């Protein structure tokens, strides 16, 4: 499992030299305890409300339970505030060396015995479908549950960003979730995966709720079925440099950006300020 590092006591979002080196070689860094319990509670409540929507942006499992909701920042002000949080924005800008915009955001709720996610690169779809020209961008994953080997963690091929765009990938209409989550996903072929794992290895990404992963969008990753009774809830904010914008509008806005304005960091309490609003009313004594 990848070495994990925490933010310092004053929550300075700056990237350390060690983190920068890990990101360059491994393809991701895990920063623990970025958000505290109150902030996690705000985001969890917002996420569960958004995935309860009936719109086309919500994909569901065969039993009707929600699995993914795209464009989360377009539908909820608390999740929009998350995308402007300095601990996310400043770190992404630092790693990419450029102002960034949101190419896609989404909520991923891995239910017990729900869908698997086949091996893929986020950039594979962003380039082939959305017209993103260059493999420059970051998948930011905010963990709202403790994630371990038990509840189907993200699995990723360290160093696979060195491959750039993996060409042996295709949309597979035979996968069970093709009509929903996998409709635009370019899955990497088994032979190529064996080669990649043989050369680079394979790691699980595990951390406590409130931790954040910053991953190069060309890293090959996936996840297995969650056979545990434990939920796995992750919020994703995928960003790209403002000069690396999509050139196709084949997908709706909740899938791929129409707004290429640079993200500007809000204050450090931009999520926390919703805590009192989001808290359920206390019962009368």
- The residue-averaged pLDDT of 14-22 equals 94
- What local confidence, expressed as pLDDT, does residue 168 receive? 79
Indicate if the pLDDT at residue 25 is higher than 70.
yes
Indicate if the pLDDT at residue 2 is higher than 70.
no
Q: Across the chain, what does the average pLDDT equal?
A: 90
Task: Let me know if residue 266 belongs to a domain.
Answer: no
Give φ, ψ of 218 to 5 degrees: -100, 0
Task: Let me know if residue 252 belongs to a domain.
Answer: no
From the list 172, 140, 171, 159, the residue with the least C-alpha distance to 218 is 159
Indicate if the pLDDT at residue 55 is higher than 70.
yes
Task: Let me know if residue 2 belongs to a domain.
Answer: no
Output the domain CATH number for residue 225: 2.60.120.620
Burial class (CB in 10 A: 0-12, 13-18, 19+), 251: middle
| Predicted confidence (pLDDT) per residue in 207-257, tens digit | 999 999 999 999 999 999 999 999 999 999 999 999 999 999 989 999 999
Give φ, ψ of 85 to 5 degrees: -65, 135
b/e map 151-186, b = 16+ CB within 10 Å: bbbbbbbbbbbebeebeebebeeebebeeebbbbbb
Task: Let me know if residue 265 belongs to a domain.
Answer: no
Number of structural domains the chain divides into? 1
* Share above pLDDT 90 across residues of the chain, in percent, rounded to a whole number: 81
* Share above pLDDT 70 across residues of the chain, in percent, rounded to a whole number: 88
- What local confidence, expressed as pLDDT, does residue 183 receive? 66
Task: Let me know if residue 270 belongs to a domain.
Answer: no
Task: Let me know if residue 7 belongs to a domain.
Answer: no
Q: What does each C-alpha distance from 248 to 128, 131, 236 come to in angstroms?
A: 9, 5, 22
Higher local confidence (pLDDT), 27 or 2: 27
Tokens read off for 163: 């491959």
pTM of the model: 0.91
Task: Let me know if residue 6 belongs to a domain.
Answer: no
Domain extent at residue 129:
14-243
- What local confidence, expressed as pLDDT, does residue 46 receive? 97
- Of 15-29, 105-119, 169-183, which range is least confident? 169-183
Indicate if the pLDDT at residue 174 is higher than 80.
no
Task: Let me know if residue 228 belongs to a domain.
Answer: yes
């Amino acid at each position: 499992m990848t070495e994990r590092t925490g933010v310092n006591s004053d929550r300075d979002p700056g990237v350390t030299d060690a983190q920068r080196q890990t990101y360059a070689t491994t393809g991701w860094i895990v920063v623990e305890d970025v958000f505290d319990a109150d902030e996690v509670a705000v985001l969890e409540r917002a996420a569960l409300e958004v995935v309860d929507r009936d719109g086309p942006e919500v994909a569901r499992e065969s039993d009707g339970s929600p699995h993914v909701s795209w464009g989360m920042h377009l539908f909820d002000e608390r999740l929009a505030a998350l995308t402007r949080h300095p601990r996310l924005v400043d770190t992404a800008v630092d790693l990419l060396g450029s102002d960034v915009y949101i190419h896609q955001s989404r909520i991923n709720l891995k239910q017990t015995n729900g869908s698997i996610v086949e091996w893929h690169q986020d950039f594979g779809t962003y380039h082939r479908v959305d017209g993103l020209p260059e493999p420059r961008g970051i998948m930011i994953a905010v963990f709202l549950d403790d994630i371990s080997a038990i509840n189907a963690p993200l699995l990723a091929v360290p160093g696979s960003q060195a491959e750039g765009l993996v060409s042996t990938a295709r949309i597979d209409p035979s996968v069970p979730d093709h009509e929903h989550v996998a409709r635009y996903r370019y899955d990497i072929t088994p032979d190529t995966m064996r080669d990649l794992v043989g050369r680079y290895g394979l790691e699980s990404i595990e951390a406590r709720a409130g931790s954040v992963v910053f991953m190069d969008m060309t890293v090959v990753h996936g996840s297995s079925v969650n056979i545990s009774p434990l939920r796995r809830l992750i919020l994703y904010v995928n960003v790209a440099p403002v000069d690396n914008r999509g050139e196709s509008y084949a997908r709706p806005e909740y899938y791929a950006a129409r707004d290429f304005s640079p993200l500007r960091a809000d204050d450090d309490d931009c999520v926390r300020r919703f805590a009192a609003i989001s808290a359920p009313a206390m019962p009368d004594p």
